[in-house]
């Protein structure tokens, strides 16, 4: 049995995070490989939009370059489901290993992952913009992070090694210290592995499309053929394995939905991505309503279990991950998630409602819970408000 003494003795040893970073295990930029853009992504700007190797652009991402402005995307970066990149009033530059998570928005004049320094003087390292966060003409340096529903305003620089707290609105450089915390070794391991997962998606979705271009449209297979997901699966709608490349929304992999496709056609808006592109299934009860640009995503070893009669507002996100409930993210029946809200690695009982642009993360909430709009809940406690 280990003791406090044993553990303290190890304190002077190199920690796992710095070992991984120093070893170069996690560095993906600079590696050749295919890039993949989901056919539902809308890229407007022709040659004004450029991308490097091993880039993954997810369903319904919208990239617009106009008026002589450009969008450049470096190697091993990813632009996930329902991300918006708007370069109509100024160019947007994304460096290597930039992660734009579901629903993030990057506006004209923003620069992400191009300047700053990496740990151990590495040439490449990730930078990260989280769920439904906005970079509105700001600069996010390498090894910097922006948490969910945060905003970084024009002219503001988030320096290497800093993480903007959830919901914060950083409008001046003088606010950076108060509205950020240091990026930890754990954050760095997280970001490097997210880069790896998405470069793997770039390769495996490319292979899936090469077999048959219709495989990456509508209701269809997950890519499989990766180390973490060797099998391919189809969604199951009303008990029936379903493949329909012509459906307007993307339902990918082992998503098991209560509703049949006709029911979903009625209940769903547009630009919706329900993505189970890793092995574990997720189960979705009947949908009362699902507005435009909703994203569901889960991963291997975690599950979504969503109750019946769910209502999901525009740009809302339900995301799985490690939880104390057998790694399952759970909502009870009659759950309502407001516009732009994020429900992440949590459980909530029946007849509950989360207001618009709120974040529920790593929490366990009883039936009948009412969370007001613009509220950040972390670990069952109110962290604060969304400031913008």
Partner 1 sequence: MVKLTAARSRIAGGLYGSLLFFVLAAASPAQADSGSDAPARLGGFEVVLEDETREIPGRAGRIRWATYWNLAWDAHPQALAYQIETMTSEGVSPKLKTQDGTFIKLEVASGENKKSLGMDKRDLQIALISGQLSYRVRALLADNRAGEWSAHFPVGRIGAPPPWKGGG
Contact set for partner 1, span 9-38 (CB under 8 A): 10-11, 13, 15-17, 19-20, 25-26
Segment 294 to 313, residues that bind partner 1, using CB under 8 A: 297, 299-302
Report if residue 198 touches partner 1, rule: CB under 8 A.
Answer: yes
d(CA 269, CA 289): 8
CB of 78: closest distance to partner 1 in angstroms? 9
- Name the token pair of 295: 């994203």
d(CA 44, CA 337): 31
CB of 352: closest distance to partner 1 in angstroms? 11
Segment 75 to 104, residues that bind partner 1, using CB under 8 A: 101
Q: Could you say which of 194, 237, 290, 317 contacts partner 1 (CB under 8 A)? A: 194
CB of 364: closest distance to partner 1 in angstroms? 7
Report if residue 378 touches partner 1, rule: CB under 8 A.
Answer: yes
The 10 Å Cβ neighbour count of residue 104 is: 26
Shorter beta-carbon distance to partner 1: residue 35 or 72: 35
Report if residue 196 touches partner 1, rule: CB under 8 A.
Answer: yes
Report if residue 174 touches partner 1, rule: CB under 8 A.
Answer: no
Segment 201 to 260, residues that bind partner 1, using CB under 8 A: 226-228
Shorter beta-carbon distance to partner 1: residue 82 or 358: 358
Binding-residue pattern over the window 260 to 279 for partner 1, x denoting contact by CB under 8 A: ------------------x-
Q: Could you say which of 256, 345, 353, 357 contacts partner 1 (CB under 8 A)? A: 345
CB of 326: closest distance to partner 1 in angstroms? 10
Report if residue 368 touches partner 1, rule: CB under 8 A.
Answer: no
CB of 216: closest distance to partner 1 in angstroms? 18
Instruction: Give the range of 33-41, 43-51, 196-204, 210-218 binding partner 1 by CB under 8 A.
Output: 196-204
Q: Residue 263 contacts by C-beta under 8 Å, 6 or more apart in sequence? A: 238, 286, 287
Report if residue 366 touches partner 1, rule: CB under 8 A.
Answer: yes
d(CA 285, CA 297): 15
How would you class 5 by CB atoms within 10 Å of its CB: exposed for 0-12, middle for 13-18, buried for 19 or more?
A: exposed
Report if residue 352 touches partner 1, rule: CB under 8 A.
Answer: no
CB of 120: closest distance to partner 1 in angstroms? 14
Partners of 164 in the β-ladder: 146, 180
CB of 238: closest distance to partner 1 in angstroms? 28
Shorter beta-carbon distance to partner 1: residue 250 or 345: 345
Shorter beta-carbon distance to partner 1: residue 301 or 311: 301
107, 105, 57, 94: which is closest to 79 by C-alpha? 57
354, 360, 366, 369: CA torsion to nearest 10: -20
């Amino acid at each position: 049995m280990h003791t406090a003494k044993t553990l303290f003795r190890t304190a002077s040893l190199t920690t796992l995070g710095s070992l991984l970073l120093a070893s170069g295990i996690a560095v993906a930029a600079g590696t050749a490989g295919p890039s993949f853009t989901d056919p539902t992504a809308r890229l407007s700007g022709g040659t004004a939009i450029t991308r490097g190797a091993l880039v993954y652009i997810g369903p319904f991402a919208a990239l617009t370059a106009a008026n002589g402005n450009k969008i450049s995307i470096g190697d091993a970066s990813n632009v996930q489901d329902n991300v918006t990149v708007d370069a109509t009033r100024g160019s947007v530059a994304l460096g290597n290993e930039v992660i734009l998570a579901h629903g993030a928005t990057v506006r004209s004049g923003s620069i992400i992952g191009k300047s700053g320094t990496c740990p151990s003087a590495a040439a490449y390292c990730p930078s990260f913009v989280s769920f439904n966060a906005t970079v509105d003409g700001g600069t996010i340096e390498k090894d910097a992070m922006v948490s969910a529903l945060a905003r970084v305003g024009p002219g503001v620089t988030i320096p290497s090694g800093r993480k903007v707290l959830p919901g914060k609105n950083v409008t001046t450089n003088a606010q950076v210290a108060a509205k950020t915390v240091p990026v930890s070794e754990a954050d760095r391991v997280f970001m490097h592995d997210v880069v790896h997962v998405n470069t793997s998606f770039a390769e495996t979705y490319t292979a899936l499309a090469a077999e048959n271009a219709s495989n990456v449209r509508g209701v269809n297979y997950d890519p499989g053929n990766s180390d973490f997901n060797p099998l391919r699966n189809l969604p199951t709608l009303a008990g029936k394995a379903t493949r329909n490349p012509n459906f307007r929304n993307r339902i990918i992999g082992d998503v098991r939905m209560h509703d049949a496709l006709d029911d979903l056609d009625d209940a769903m808006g547009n630009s919706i991505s329900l993505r189970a592109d890793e092995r574990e299934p997720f189960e979705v009860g009947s949908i009362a309503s699902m507005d435009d640009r909703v994203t569901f995503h889960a991963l291997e070893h975690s599950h979504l279990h969503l109750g019946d009669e769910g209502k999901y507002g525009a740009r809302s996100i339900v995301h799985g991950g490690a939880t104390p409930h057998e790694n399952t993210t759970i909502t009870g029946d009659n759950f309502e998630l407001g516009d732009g809200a994020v429900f992440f690695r949590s459980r909530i009982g029946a007849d509950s409602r989360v207001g618009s642009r709120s974040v529920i993360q790593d929490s366990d909430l009883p039936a009948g819970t009412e969370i007001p709009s613009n509220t950040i809940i972390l670990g069952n406690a109110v962290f604060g408000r969304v400031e913008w």
